[in-house]
Chain A
Amino acid sequence: MAKSLMIVDDSATMRKIIMRTVRMSGLEFERTEEAGNGAEAIEKLKTSPVDLVLCDVNMPEMGGLEMVKKIRTELKICEGTKIIMVSTESSQELIDGVIADGANGFITKPFTPEKFQEKLTPFMN
């Protein structure tokens, strides 16, 4: 069971919407964290790893793609953490690229609780 979740998005509004959608999807987490960009997420993950990260792509300072690369190939931290990208960007090239870099899934906006349930349930066990 995934017990901890981090939502990474530069928009506080979107972080709240994602959190609400996670709750509506019926998935439960004992601990939730938030970060406003990739760099902030990495700093938090170094000291407080989570089971699952939901991460935006386009963010100031450090975007989601750079964050995934850093975590998976440079820093090699949080090996057990599953990273799911959440973005309005939806080209197959982008999705294939970020999966190749080490992300575990991709959810496109707009999303629904059903979409979250479908995409996240495989990582809950």
Chain B
Amino acid sequence: MIEQICFDKVLLESAKEIFSTMVFMDLAEAAEKDFVVDRALLGSITFKGGVEGCMAICCDKNCAKAIAVNMLGMDSDSGLTEEGISDAIGEIVNMIMGGVKSRILKEVGNLEVSIPSVVSGHDLTNLDNKSIRTTIKVNIDDKFGAEISLIYRPCA
């Protein structure tokens, strides 16, 4: 059944919905795909059930700050803490994954989602040849570039 799911479409739809309703920033798939996200933060969340894997958003510090400022309705990032930035990115990942889950639940049967985590890092890499990776590069408010990735494999 999961062969019928277009994961990059599902991922983009969910991300767009979350950014427009909870972050109040515009998110669109990037026309230019070869940009590199430097000095990145990586927010990730794992899932298991009819399909298992990991979803992550990777962005630079300035992008993460802008997301946190918008989510919290702050005027500037001056009062923002590292913990606040990390928490905001974790919530974004959590909500995007929630949107993905609601869109694929019928096809995958059941899906348990973990609590998100945020680390300094650059990339999400699949270490086995059974997993499939989909990555979309996005522009946020036409100012920031970010990557949203999903690594997944069907469960027996």
Please give the residue numbers on chain A whose beta carbons come within 8 Å of chain B beta carbons, in ascending order.
10-14, 16-17, 20, 58-60, 87-91, 108-112
Decide: B105 and A13 in contact? CB cutoff 8 A.
no
Flag the segment in B2-10, B53-61, B90-98 that touches A. B90-98
Q: What are 15 A-B pairs with beta-carbon distances under 8 A? A: A11-B94, A12-B87, A13-B87, A13-B90, A14-B87, A17-B72, A17-B91, A58-B115, A88-B99, A88-B102, A90-B98, A108-B98, A109-B22, A109-B98, A112-B21
Decide: A13 and B71 in contact? CB cutoff 8 A.
yes
Q: How many residues of B contact A (CB 8 A)?
A: 24
Chain B, residue nearest A109 (CB): B95
Chain B, residue nearest A14 (CB): B91
Interface of A is mostly: loop
Q: Which residues of A contact B84 (CB under 8 A)?
A: 12-13
CB distance from B14 to the nearest CB of A (A): 10
CB distance from A36 to the nearest CB of B (A): 11
Q: Which residues of A contact B87 (CB under 8 A)?
A: 11-14
Interface of B is mostly: helix
Partner of B98 from the list A10, A20, A88, A112 (CB cut-off 8 Å) is A88
Asked, given contacts A88-B98, A88-B99, A110-B21, whether A13 binds B68 with beta carbons under 8 Å apart, the answer is: yes
Kindly supply a per-residue 1/0 record for chain B positions 74-114, scoring 1 wherever the CB is within 8 Å of any chain A CB and 0 otherwise. Answer: 00000000011001101100110111011001000000010
Chain A, residue nearest B19 (CB): A110
Roughly how many angstroms separate A11 CA and B95 CA in the complex, as a whole number? 12
Q: Which residues of B contact A110 (CB under 8 A)?
A: 17-18, 21-22, 95, 99
Decide: A58 and B22 in contact? CB cutoff 8 A.
no
CB distance from B88 to the nearest CB of A (A): 5
CB distance from A18 to the nearest CB of B (A): 11
Q: Which residues of B contact A11 (CB under 8 A)?
A: 87, 90-91, 94
